[in-house]
Structure 1
């Protein structure tokens, strides 16, 4: 019976890694907004060109994850999409499918920059599932940034706020957060 209780707790923890904290929807939105603002500041310090690109873009999306689950491997996270020149925000979630047992806990952040309104609208409506293509594109560039589709740039920062050596986005799904929208 004791193992059942431990299993229930572990399953709950694995699904709530870095869920937006707060006791109600406005507090949870505020947490996601603050995390996104901090992430954009870190990206600007790590890559001045990225900061300029964000300022000239149609908009951006910023996500943070909480690493791997305890029993159900996979990373979970939250983020927000912001259209430049607008106060309207779209809250989203991310799920990183496991790359295998024992792969360790990886905490990282992702920023998408949308050169066009069409790219931004598409992401808000359908989200993304990243493939090996994005990972391969960043490896050829030698750092955690890549144009993952025409007019859509992805940047990945490590837990210290540095641009990652390469994207590790294979198997990551970004989708609407039904609770916060």
Structure 2
């Protein structure tokens, strides 16, 4: 019986939040009046802000990005209410070979108990063209939780505290308190934005 009450309570809170104007602002950060060009500009501006935050938290990350074939930055807003939660966000992939940005979205669905709101930024660094193209074109899914333990490659080269999340793909995660030691990305899907890439 208690589980039924918890479920009904979660649904009630979810309805309240979805009807709250402040939550609507986060779930649609651009607002209804932004043009495609303005949305692109906001994402690129956010990209610069995220890189600035990353370099402040981990200055050596700049060297990794400079040596990469490309990188991606994403800004996420997430909410978790009692038994279920989720989040959404937007970002951009920069292919340094072509300098052409690819605008992408992210969607996250979580399960578990808890109540809270979280915001974070994800930065991906691509060490090969194949890894970058796979991320962009295959609708990459991040399905787990990893700790920042894999800091070196097989030849002993430092990854500057980045975490290896896929072959040829390194990742940093920034939170309000700085660089995350444990990266969370459960059930997160990354995919192209069909509107912004026209």
TM-score by length of 2: 0.75
Which stretches in structure 1 are left out of the alignment for 5+ residues? 1-5
Cα gap change, 1:11 to 1:121, in 2 (>3 Å): farther
Q: CA deviation at 1:56?
A: 0.7
Q: Note if contact 1:73-1:101 (Cα within 8 Å) is conserved in structure 2.
A: no
Pick the aligned partner of 1:165 from 181, 184, 190.
181
Higher Cα Rg, which structure? 2
Give the Cα separation in 1 of the matches to 2:169 and 2:100: 20
Pick the aligned partner of 1:50 from 61, 86, 89.
61
Question: 1:104 matched to which residue of 2?
Answer: 116
Pick the aligned partner of 2:190 from 143, 168, 174.
174
21-30 or 67-76, larger mean C-alpha shift: 67-76
More helix by share: 1
Are 1:94 and 2:106 counterparts? yes
Look up the SS of the partner of 1:48 in the other structure: coil
Question: 2:51 matched to which residue of 1?
Answer: 40
Are 1:79 and 2:91 counterparts? yes
TM-score by length of 1: 0.82
More strand by share: 2
Question: 1:3 matched to which residue of 2?
Answer: none
Are 1:67 and 2:78 counterparts? yes
Cα gap change, 1:56 to 1:163, in 2 (>3 Å): same
Look up the SS of the partner of 2:112 in the other structure: coil
Backbone CA RMSD of aligned residues: 2.9
